[in-house]
Amino acid sequence: MRSTCAPSPGYPAIVPARASGCARQMGLAPGDVTYLHEKERELNAMLRERAEAADAHYVDTYTAPVGRDACAARDARRIEPLMPQASAAPVRPNERGEQGMAEAVLKAVGAAD
């Protein structure tokens, strides 16, 4: 049964699971990338639990951007690095990221297409 509450989206992937390429884009040491990646996964798990406890529908916006994080190539990323190269704030979704999150929410509420 689908919840009658508004969908509750999680956070998109900000950094990759592995640190390759993040030093240049984000100025992070490999251990920092791993730590932040794990903390974001924990945060999304907590958000999922809280949404389910409130009978809300959790929307996974993390999975789709994997490989399109702030450390990805400029033409692929959905999250901008510390020094944005697209029209977005640092470490925030760019236009592709916002579009991807919107599509995930629309799909969750059955309004996609």
Q: 3-class DSSP state for residue 8?
A: strand
Has residue 5 got a pLDDT over 70? no
| Span 43-95, pLDDT tens digits | 999 999 999 999 988 999 888 767 899 999 999 999 999 999 888 899 999 99
**CA 27 – CA 103 distance, rounded (Å):** 31
| Span 10-29, pLDDT tens digits | 999 999 888 777 887 888 88
Structure confidence at residue 1 (pLDDT):
42
Residue 35 Cα distances to 42, 62, 88, angstroms: 11, 16, 24
User: Higher pLDDT residue, 110 or 37?
Assistant: 37
Structure confidence at residue 87 (pLDDT):
86
